[in-house]
Chain A
Amino acid sequence: MIRVVLPPHLRTLARINGEVSLEVSGPVTQRSILDALEARYPSLCGTIRDHDTQQRRAFLRFFVCEEDWSHESPDAPLPEAIANGREPFLIVGAIAGG
């Protein structure tokens, strides 16, 4: 099981309490995790990455095992700790703002 942690506003939007657990088939990458997340929660489509370009929204970052993976290829394999659920895939909103 893949564990995903979302910012509070997106948890509210998708009516999620706590972490999300996802089954991901095939290689575990940013893209495959986000595909599975959006399939489970369609209301998140467009809120994390652009509908058409699939680019990460500017004020969001992806953290993996305490490292910023935001600028890595979305198809790069993620560490085993993510694939086996030992560590969560973190989607983090920029702190600055009102």
Chain B
Amino acid sequence: MSRVSGLTTLSIAGLLLTAAGCSDFQSSFAPSKRTLALIPEAQSGVGTTPGVTPLVDEKFGNPQHLKAWKKLPVEWGGVTSSVAEYVAGDKPVIRLTADETTPFPVRAGRLVLTSGDGAGKSYEISDWNAEKGEATLASAPEVAPAAGDNCTLDPGNLLQSGRVLYMRHCSHCHGTAGDGNGPTAQYLYPRPRDYRNGIFKFTSTIDSSRATRDDLLRVLKYGIPGTYMPSFLLMKDEELEALVEYVRFLAMRGEYEQKLVSELAADFSSKALETRLQSESRQDIVQELADFLKDDMPETAETAGDELAETWTTAEAEESKVVPSVPRVPDSPESRRRGRELYLGKALNCANCHGIDGAGNGPQTIAFEKNPLTDELYPEAGLHDIWGNLNQPRNLQTGIFRGGRRPIDVFNRIYAGIKGSSMPAFKNTPHEDIWHVVNYVLSLQFESETGAVGEAPAETVAAAAADSQN
């Protein structure tokens, strides 16, 4: 009896606490570890001159109030159109010019004028007629829109929905700022991706390029086998598109922060301060920082934005895509044997990391290495990636290929390397040789004993025979 009435009290208390506790929750983008390693004045600024954190917030905002920096190649959302006619009255109506190529969106909640006398004004739409493109405004505009004024419907709505979806589906692993350190991240191996240096491992682009939207979409749709990244194929296309844009937004935000910090890290980190205080006064150092922030930082920030725009736009271009110059060499015992020769050979040296039988246990995995950026030994033996995580060379015998198991996926991994990891780009190896290695690698999971390059399945051999006769 008393146990059950206790339950009642508990449930009512829980309901009240839920109501009370959620009311002023504000999430924020946490500064990166490297930002926090700077002296406080470099992080927040000196006097009225902003430091790293205010500079990043100025261009990207916080999760409640995002800022869309038009310089960045991100699809913010919103449909552009122009005013065809404005009818004033109790219920002012703006009719938009119809466009044969782009139909009006099904829903519209807000209209923003982008040219004319009322440029910049934003109006709430109380009723939207999608066939005619007529927006009934909730309140009368102060300046009457003229025919020919440009406007946008729901600007930024893709970013908005991206953020809401991201927080619901992604943030528990990938973190609010995309730092790969959400609440569940500590239980996962491998760790979720930290987007903040703009590097994504599994791409279809050359080694010096960023990931394309398609690459990110592939990862979302099919997940990463062998890791905790699931497939989100059940989500609608618009939702996936919104998520891809938001992830790119977070990646650019992280890169921007990193670029600003790298200008200051050498001279104004806490560690540097310790050594500098031996010969200089803190006041002088802060003055030097203030001068730098005022004179040089604004230009650096604009250049950083330009660089982001360039790298992320180039990633989508044709020249960034990996295109084998030779069509895929069909799978055959000869190709696999040649692949095995190359795998063990000195030119490619795959066995060094991946092991003689592809088990991911090559000699490189037991060597203690130093972190080149900090010049300190890593805590555990083996290779490490740029996120500082242990980077096991893939065990090729399992048949689990994280970046995808299509032959072109394995080709991309070899040709362009795996960005951010210790897998280098083999871009000067003849493409035909790479296909041989691809065939060998894809066959490893079926080998019953090491080095036994087995026969190809009967249908493949027959198909190869038929092809060669054509």
Are A and B subunits of one complex?
no
Q: Which B residues are closer than 8 A to A by beta carbons? A: none
